[in-house]
Structure 1
Amino acid sequence: MAISWEDSVTNSINTVYLLFSAYLVFVMQLGFAMLCAGSVRAKNAMNILLTNVVDAAVGSISYYLFGFAFAFGSGLDSNPFIGSHFFALKEIPNDTYDYSFFLYQWAFAIAVAGITSGSIAERTQFSAYLVFSFFLTGFVYPIVAHWVWSSTGWLSPSSSQLLFGSGAIDFAGSGVVHLVGGIAGFWGALIEGPRVGRFDAFGQPVPIRGHSATLVVLGTFLLWFGWFGFNPGSFNKILVPYMNTANQGNWTSIGRTAVTTTLAGSTAGIVTLFGRRLIIGHWDALDVCNGVLGGFVAITSGCSVVEPWAAIVCGFFAAWVLIGLNILALKLKFDDPLEATQLHGGCGAWGLIFTGLFAKKEFIVQAYDAGVIGVVRPFGLLMGGGWGLIGAQVVAVLVIIGWVTITMGPLFFALCKLKILRISVEEEMAGLDISSHGGYAYVAHPEENHPRFYADYVRMQDGS
C-alpha cells in the first residue's frame, strides 16, 4: 500500500525529532560521568568513569535482549503488568514501533543505572556494578515503564481502562526513571553502609568533598542540555505524534515543556543556593548544581501539563525536599556520595505528587488525547480537577517504591552475603583506582591520594 506524501513528511519529521531527542538524552550519560567523577575523590575517579561507561554498554545488551520487550512488548492477552516477547527487536519495525523509538527508550533505560551507581560510589566492587546494571536495565526498570508508558499498562494514561478514570501522568519519568534509580540506590547504599571515615566515632558526619568542582559544574550543564531531549522529546509517537492530521503538530506544547523544565530547575537552584547559605553560612556552587538537577527531576513528570508559573512552584518545593532529605540522611548516618537517593528518589516522588496537584485540563487533553476536544479527564486537584489524578499519582509512587524494593533490595542483599558487593577497608583507603584499575586517573593527585596509600596497600597485600 503506497504511503501518501503528507504521511511521508509527517513520519520523516517524527523520526528526525525522535532521533535528535535520543541523542540529547544520550549526552546526559556524559553529564552523569562528569558529575560523578567530580563528586568523588580523585583516587576513585577512574572507577566511577568506568562504571558510567559500563552502565551504557551493559544496558545496551540487557535492554535489547529483555528490557524493551518487557516495557513495550504485547502478548496474546496484552498482559497489563508484564510485556512479553523476548529479544526486543522482534517487535520492530511494525506499525507501532520502529528503531528510532527503541533507541530513544534505550537512552532512558541506561540513565537509570547511572543514577544508582552514584549512590554506591567509592566502595563497591566492580563486578557488582555489572550484575545490578544488567538486572536493573533489563528487568526492574522496564516493568515500571510498561505500567506507565505502554498503552496496555495498568497505570498508563493511554490505557483503555484508566485507573481512577485518569491513569498516572509521568510524562518523561520522574517516577519511571528517577524514582526507580533513586530507590535502587537507596537499598544499595543502605546495605553497603557508609564510606570509611564518613562518620566519626561519635556518629557525627565528616565532610568528604569531591575532587573537582569544575567537573561537577560541567556535568550539570551537560545534564541541563540533555534534559531538553528528556522532557520535550517525550512527545513521542506512542503518546502523541509531533505532527498529525487532526492537530498539525504539538509544537506549542513542546516549546512550553522546554520552558517549564528550565523554570523548575532554575528556581530549585536559586532556592537551594539561599537555603544552604542559611544553613552552612557560605555560598556553595555544588549545592546549587544539585538543586538545579532536583528541580529538573521534579518537573519531569508534569512538564507537559502544567503552566510555567506552576513549574516555579515545583522547583521551589523540590529544593526544600532535597535540603530536608539531605539533613535527614546525615541524622540517620546514610551515606550517598552523589545524593542520588535524596535527589532522584525524593524529588522524583515530589514530581509525581506535584503533577496530581497542578496539571491543567487543557494541557492533559493536548498531551494525551492528540488534540481531541471534549474528552473528560481528571486533572490537578488544586486546579479543580478532583481526586482522580492525584489518587493515581499516589498509587504510582507507592507501587514504584514497592516494586524496586522487592527486586533490588534482595539483589543487593544477596551480593552482600556473597561478599561481592563492597570492597575491603584496605582497598577503600588505597582507592579503587589503584587497587582495581591499575593506577590513578591523574598523573599528579592531591594529598589524599599520596603514594603512601599505595605503599600501605601493597604491604597489606604482601602480609608484611
Structure 2
Amino acid sequence: MGVSWEESVTYSINAIYLLFSAYLVFVMQIGFAMICAGSVRAKNAMNIMLTNVVDAVVGSISFYLFGFAFAYGTSNPFIGTHLFALSHIPNATYDYAFFLYQWAFAIAVTGITSGSIAERTQFSAYLVFSFFLSGFVYPVVAHWLWSSSGWLSPNSTHLFLGSGAIDFAGSGVVHLVGAVAGLWGSIIEGPRTGRFDSLGRPMPLRGHSATLVVLGTFLLWFGWFGFNPGSFDKILVAYPGTSDQGNWTSVGRTAVTTILAGSTAGIVTLFGRRLLVGHWDAMDACNGLLGGFVAITSGCSVVEPWAAIICGFVSAWVLIGLNIVALKLNYDDPLEAAQLHGGCGTWGLLFTGLFAKEEFVIQVYNCGEIGVSRPYGVLLGGGWGLFGAQVIEILTIFGWVSVTMGPIFYALQKLEILRIPVNEEVTGLDISCHGGYAYAQENYHLRLYGDYMPIQHALS
C-alpha cells in the first residue's frame, strides 16, 4: 500500500524542519571556534582554530562508524549495539535527516572539552580524545536519555522511577558530558604556565579578542534555536482532542524559554561581576548568557516562560560562584567550560525536576494524550519521581565520563603526548607546532602575559 499525499507532505515538512535545525546546530561550531579563538592569547589562535576543525572532522567519522549505533541501537538499554552505524541508517525508525541532526550534537560535545584544555595541549591528543568521546562516551549517554530503549529515557516503556529523566536538548547529555571530560583533562594536565604565581595567586591571562568572543556568542545564540526548538524532530504532530495545540505551539514556547533564560543570566552575570570586580566586562555578559542557555536546555520544552527567568537568574550565580571556587583551587580552564557547561548544566537538570509543568510534560512525551498522568516538578506538586531521576542522571553522567575519559587523559599524560613542553607553551603553540602565527606579525611577538615586545628580544 502506497503512502498518501498527506503523509508524504507531513514527512517532507518534518524532514525539512529537522535538516534546517541540524544546520543551525552546526552553525554553533563557528560560534565555538570564534569564542575559543578570542578567549586565548594570540600566539595560540591558529592552534585552537585547528582543534575546532579537528573536533568536527574526527567526530564526524567516529560518530558515523560507531557513535550512532551506540546511541540508537536497540540491543540493550545500556550501550545500544556494537555494530557499525552505517548498517543502521536509513531504517524504519531513523533516516538520514535524523542522523545528521544527532551528528551535529555529537561534534558539539568535543568542542566543550577542547576549550577546557586549550593553550597547553599537544595536537595529537585532540585526535585521540575527540574520536573516543564522540564515538563511544557521548553516544552511550545519548542512548540512556534519548533512545526509546534507554534505561533513563522518558520515552521508554519502563520509566525509571515512573518518570524517566527529562533532558530535552542536552543540559546533561551534551553539556555535562563535555564539561566532565574537560574537567579531568584540565586537572590531569594542570594549569597553564603563569596562570598562578608561586603563592597560588591567579595571574591574568586574558584572551586577545573580545570582538571574536562577542561574535561567537551571537552565533551560538542563533544556533541554539536549532539546538532547543529543533529537538522536536517532528514539527507536524497534532495532540488528540484539541484543534489549536501540537508540536508547532510547543516549539514556539521552547524558543521563548530559551531566550528568557539566556537573557536573564547574561544581565545578572554582568551586574553581579560588576559588584565583585568594579567594572563592566563583555566577557562576563557573554559567558553568563551562554550559562543560561545551557541551563534551560534540559527543561526548555516543559516549563513556563516565567520559570525560565528563574532558571537564568540562578545559573548566573552558579557560574559566578564556581569561577570563584575554581580560582581558589588553582583550577585553570581558559574558557570556563567546566564551570559553565558543567555547573549550569547540572543546575538545569535540577531546575527541570523542580519546575516542569505536567501539561507540558504530557504534550512533549505523550503527544498531549488525554487521561495520562506523569510525575512533574516538585515545586508544582508533582512529587519526587522526576526530581529523583534528574539526580540519578547527574550522578550517572559524572561517573560514566570519569571512568572513561579520566583514564584516557591519564594514559595520554603518561605517554607524554598530552601536554606540550613548557618552552613551547611559552613561545606559543602557533610557532612551536604550526609553523607561524595566525596573524601577520613582523617585528613583534606576544609575551606570556599578552604584552608586545620586539621579536628579537622574545626569542633571545
TM-score by length of structure 1 reads 0.95
CA–CA separation in structure 2 for the residues paired with 1:454 and 1:363: 65
Are 2:140 and 1:146 equivalent residues in the alignment?
Answer: no
Out of 250, 255, 259, the residue aligned to residue 253 of structure 1 is 250
Structure 1 residue 92 displacement after superposition: 1.6
Gaps of 5+ in 2: none
Structure 1 residue 132 displacement after superposition: 0.3
Counterpart in the other structure of 2:32: 32
CA–CA separation in structure 2 for the residues paired with 1:409 and 1:53: 23
Out of 419, 435, 438, the residue aligned to residue 435 of structure 2 is 438
Counterpart in the other structure of 1:174: 171
Counterpart in the other structure of 2:315: 318
Structure 1 residue 242 displacement after superposition: 3.3
SS at match of 1:338: coil
> 1:94-127: per-residue Cα shift (whole Å, max 9, x none)?
2200000000000000000000000000000000
Are 2:125 and 1:128 equivalent residues in the alignment?
Answer: yes
Asked if the contact 1:43/1:441 (under 8 Å) is kept, the reply is yes
Asked if the contact 1:128/1:415 (under 8 Å) is kept, the reply is yes
Note the 1:374-413 alignment, pairs <5 A: 374-413=371-410
Structure 1 residue 453 displacement after superposition: 6.4
Note the 1:71-86 alignment, pairs <5 A: 71-75=71-75, 79-86=76-83
Out of 401, 418, 422, the residue aligned to residue 421 of structure 1 is 418
> 1:160-191: per-residue Cα shift (whole Å, max 9, x none)?
10011000000000000000000000000000
Out of 311, 330, 333, the residue aligned to residue 330 of structure 2 is 333
CA–CA separation in structure 1 for the residues paired with 2:362 and 2:392: 22
Out of 115, 125, 134, the residue aligned to residue 137 of structure 1 is 134
Counterpart in the other structure of 1:273: 270
Paired letter, 1:256: R
CA–CA separation in structure 2 for the residues paired with 1:359 and 1:371: 15
Paired letter, 1:44: N
Structure 1 residue 407 displacement after superposition: 0.4
- In structure 2, the CA distance between the partners of 1:323 and 1:446, relative to structure 1 (3 Å rule), is farther
CA–CA separation in structure 2 for the residues paired with 1:148 and 1:389: 13
Asked if the contact 1:430/1:453 (under 8 Å) is kept, the reply is no
Asked if the contact 2:28/2:220 (under 8 Å) is kept, the reply is yes
Counterpart in the other structure of 1:46: 46
Structure 1 residue 85 displacement after superposition: 4.6
Asked if the contact 2:263/2:289 (under 8 Å) is kept, the reply is yes
Asked if the contact 2:66/2:136 (under 8 Å) is kept, the reply is yes
Asked if the contact 1:10/1:244 (under 8 Å) is kept, the reply is no
CA–CA separation in structure 2 for the residues paired with 1:222 and 1:64: 26
Asked if the contact 1:14/1:243 (under 8 Å) is kept, the reply is no
Paired letter, 2:30: L
CA–CA separation in structure 2 for the residues paired with 1:251 and 1:352: 24
Note the 1:59-70 alignment, pairs <5 A: 59-70=59-70
Are 2:97 and 1:103 equivalent residues in the alignment?
Answer: no
CA–CA separation in structure 2 for the residues paired with 1:447 and 1:341: 27
Out of 230, 233, 252, the residue aligned to residue 233 of structure 1 is 230
Note the 1:358-377 alignment, pairs <5 A: 358-377=355-374
- In structure 2, the CA distance between the partners of 1:32 and 1:169, relative to structure 1 (3 Å rule), is same
Structure 1 residue 299 displacement after superposition: 0.1
Asked if the contact 2:239/2:363 (under 8 Å) is kept, the reply is no
Counterpart in the other structure of 1:243: 237
Structure 1 residue 211 displacement after superposition: 0.2
Paired letter, 1:4: S
Of the structure 1 ranges 4-13 and 324-333, higher mean CA displacement relative to structure 2 is found in: 4-13
Asked if the contact 2:430/2:438 (under 8 Å) is kept, the reply is yes
Note the 1:281-300 alignment, pairs <5 A: 281-300=278-297
Counterpart in the other structure of 2:341: 344
- In structure 2, the CA distance between the partners of 1:85 and 1:7, relative to structure 1 (3 Å rule), is farther
Of the structure 1 ranges 365-374 and 205-214, higher mean CA displacement relative to structure 2 is found in: 365-374
Of the structure 1 ranges 88-97 and 156-165, higher mean CA displacement relative to structure 2 is found in: 88-97
Structure 1 residue 447 displacement after superposition: 4.2
CA–CA separation in structure 2 for the residues paired with 1:67 and 1:178: 17
Are 2:203 and 1:209 equivalent residues in the alignment?
Answer: no
Structure 1 residue 86 displacement after superposition: 2.2
Are 2:184 and 1:187 equivalent residues in the alignment?
Answer: yes
Asked if the contact 2:163/2:385 (under 8 Å) is kept, the reply is yes
Structure 1 residue 245 displacement after superposition: 7.8
Of the structure 1 ranges 345-354 and 81-90, higher mean CA displacement relative to structure 2 is found in: 81-90
- In structure 2, the CA distance between the partners of 1:268 and 1:245, relative to structure 1 (3 Å rule), is closer
Asked if the contact 2:445/2:458 (under 8 Å) is kept, the reply is no
Counterpart in the other structure of 1:156: 153
CA–CA separation in structure 1 for the residues paired with 2:325 and 2:453: 36
Structure 1 residue 6 displacement after superposition: 1.0
Structure 1 residue 452 displacement after superposition: 6.0
Asked if the contact 2:145/2:153 (under 8 Å) is kept, the reply is yes
> 1:272-304: per-residue Cα shift (whole Å, max 9, x none)?
001000100000000110000000000000000
SS at match of 1:264: helix
Asked if the contact 1:42/1:446 (under 8 Å) is kept, the reply is no
> 1:423-447: per-residue Cα shift (whole Å, max 9, x none)?
0000000000000001000003664
CA–CA separation in structure 1 for the residues paired with 2:266 and 2:32: 18
SS at match of 2:199: coil
CA–CA separation in structure 2 for the residues paired with 1:453 and 1:197: 20
CA–CA separation in structure 2 for the residues paired with 1:377 and 1:233: 24
Structure 1 residue 456 displacement after superposition: 6.2
Counterpart in the other structure of 1:462: none
SS at match of 2:332: coil
SS at match of 2:400: helix
Of the structure 1 ranges 182-191 and 439-448, higher mean CA displacement relative to structure 2 is found in: 439-448
Identity %: 76
Out of 196, 200, 209, the residue aligned to residue 199 of structure 1 is 196
Structure 1 residue 413 displacement after superposition: 0.5
Structure 1 residue 454 displacement after superposition: 8.1
SS at match of 1:2: coil
Asked if the contact 2:266/2:286 (under 8 Å) is kept, the reply is yes
Of the structure 1 ranges 227-236 and 83-92, higher mean CA displacement relative to structure 2 is found in: 83-92
Asked if the contact 1:236/1:242 (under 8 Å) is kept, the reply is no
